[in-house]
Amino acid sequence: MPARYHPWYLDFLLHWTFALELAIVIAAAWRVRRRRAGAAPRVAATLLLLMLLALGAACHRPTRPAPAPAALPEEHCWWTVFRTPLRADTVAARFARAFAAAGLGGAAWSQRADTAWAHAGPTRLGGKWGDGVYEARAVAYQLGDSAHYRYFVALRLPATGSADEPNEGARRIPFCGAIARAAAVGGTAAPQPGAEERLELWLRRLAAGR
């Protein structure tokens, strides 16, 4: 019996063989009770209705959800963590505004405890950025009197087949720069990555902060 439903026992209840078994049981019960002349018409109608419901359930097929779109390839805009005297929620709010200023739709930010997130896109952009689908996010957390943050850009360019087709890195760098200027968060960053860049919190997105 194929596994199509959840929870597991629905695979048995909604299979056509169960409807057949149920019909046999109902027919047997009706045969036993048919001698009761006064109740026979009512019992027959009830049993017929139950049989139709069972057959309808057995013929039902679950609706398959549409496949989720493939995630855009994402890269950090700077290879090390930034530190700023601004608070984490201020950092997230500024990046959300910067994302919107860059043309990304659905810009929003959220905070939970000492961590804040901002996210926008995916949005198809053109013009100075070139045709492509862009998405951006930022993560910041409070550590003492400073906020540590990183921001990321994901994009996918349409395949044109041209030999001089620009790569995603060539588009990502100026887009990251425009976001940084619009956010105006500033701060300092270490010259080389360390343990902090490997923290799991950088992988968490806005939905995790709601």
pLDDT, position 208 = 40
Fold of 74-157+165-209: TATA-Binding Protein (3.30.310)
pLDDT in tens, the chain (210 residues): 455 555 555 556 666 677 777 777 777 666 666 665 555 556 556 666 666 665 555 454 554 544 444 567 889 999 999 999 999 999 999 999 999 999 999 999 999 999 999 999 999 998 888 889 999 999 999 999 999 999 999 998 887 665 566 677 788 999 999 999 999 999 999 999 999 999 999 988 765 444
For residues 102 and 137, the answer to whether their CB atoms sit within 8 Å is no
SS3 content of the chain, % helix, strand, coil (to 5): 40, 20, 35
pLDDT, position 158 = 81
For residues 138 and 187, the answer to whether their CB atoms sit within 8 Å is no
| pTM summary value | 0.64
Distances in Å between the Cα of 40 and the Cα atoms of 23, 48, 51, 53, 70 are 17, 12, 16, 20, 60
Q: Is the dihedral of CA 184, 187, 193, 198 positive or negative?
A: negative
Domain spans of the chain, in order of start: 10-59, 74-157+165-209
Tokens of 154: 């994901």
For residues 118 and 138, the answer to whether their CB atoms sit within 8 Å is yes
Which residue carries 């950088």 as its tokens? Answer: 202
